[in-house]
Amino acid sequence: MGEQATGVRKSVRTLADDREIIYFDSGALPGGMPSARTAVDMRPLPVTSTSSELRFDRLLGEWVAIASHRQSRTFLPPADKCPLCPSTDDNPSEIPDSDYQVVVFENRFPSLTNAAEPTDGGSVPEGVAVRPGYGRCEVVCFTPQHDGAFAGLSHAQARLVVDAWADRTAELSRLPHVEQVFCFENHGEEIGVTLSHPHGQIYAYPFITPRTATMLGRVRDLARDGRDLFADMLAGERAGPRVVAGNDLWTAFVPAAARWPYEVQLFPHRKVPDITALTSAERDAFVEVYLDVMRRFAGLFDTPMPYIAAWNQAPTSARDEWWLHVQLFSIRRAPGKLKYLAGSESGMGVFINDIAPEQAAERLRAVSI
């Protein structure tokens, strides 16, 4: 499934409640630390208990996750009690070590759970199809620096995050019944972030997500005529007025039918299904373009830019049909103004964008980074 990252050390440990934690390190560790992480989680944690289930919406043909246990998850703790910072005597956190580079661990409050094997489904008396919420949810900490941001990472640190994403995509894709792996970052309180430390998440879904299913349907429709929808679209965008940044291997552009005030999609020039299939050169080239776009987002206004960054990876059953890409978008349309999903968007799924995509691209290109 692609090249293995060279020079990356991976240390797999368990937390006090038996959740898995994985450290990713490259280069020399600070302070003469050993090459493998050995810190032990000494917290008196109870075993994690979850009650996730999936219910099928028969009208839309979509699965909905019900995860009522998440009501008790940690919400905007003070910086000195951050659960994503390295552990100290005063703050034994989710990361037992006193320092780290990139770390991934099983979410303590997951939307999906590996506690129960999925079944073929069934129905409750109301006639609703239900099955266990099988899957896996992980947290990815990008940096030990609490006040940092992805846009502020060095090229080497961002590249290590990409290698961690690739590793987890490969591992999670091999789990029984997992059909799609989704790496993403929510950034900013306006998005709904409950922990301010720079981090992202990974979901391993036991189904193909609605967005992906819709795109796959469109791709397959055009494939009957011998056309590749992804290739056609990328060629058109690379030649158009909405390109924001790029290099020999990646292009970042505002899509012609952007739904969000500021939305950028990043495509590799070579068709690959997921992050694992990217070569070392393609990963480096991605980091170059991604950090460029991230810094343009951060510098667009004199106010923080909330955003969602979403990797669109192939379902495990459709790798040959897919073209990996990243969707980066913000709900901020102007200083002090947010894009709300009101009646048309929330009720009917019809987006109304207040900013022309060409204008958004021009404004992003004009940002000095």
176 contacts 233 by C-beta, under 8 angstroms? no
Of 221, 190, 239, 231, give the one whose Cα is nearest residue 322.
231
Find out whether 177 is annotated in a ligand binding site.
Answer: no
Separation between Cα atoms, residue 114 and residue 353, nearest integer Å:
39
- DSSP single-letter state for residue 18: S
**DSSP code string of 85-141:** SBP-SS---SB-SS--SEEEEE-SS-SSBSSS---S-EE-TT--EEEE-B-EEEEEE
Phi, psi of 248 (to 5 degrees): -70, -20
- DSSP single-letter state for residue 76: S
Separation between Cα atoms, residue 228 and residue 159, nearest integer Å:
30
Find out whether 187 is annotated in a ligand binding site.
Answer: no
199 catalytic residue (yes or no): yes
Find out whether 269 is annotated in a ligand binding site.
Answer: no
Other C-beta atoms lying within 10 Å of the C-beta of residue 108: 18
Among residues 69, 155, 177, 199, the one annotated as catalytic is 199
Q: Which two tokens stand for residue 238?
A: 């690379």
Q: What angle do CA 117, 194, 196 make, to 5 degrees?
A: 120
Separation between Cα atoms, residue 292 and residue 368, nearest integer Å:
10
Of 29, 156, 48, give the one whose Cα is nearest residue 99.
29
**How many Å separate Cα 286 from the centre of its chain?**
15
Separation between Cα atoms, residue 130 and residue 121, nearest integer Å:
6
Separation between Cα atoms, residue 350 and residue 366, nearest integer Å:
30
Residues annotated as catalytic (active site), given as ranges: 199
Annotated binding site: 82, 85, 146, 197
Annotated binding site for Zn(2+): 82, 85, 146, 197
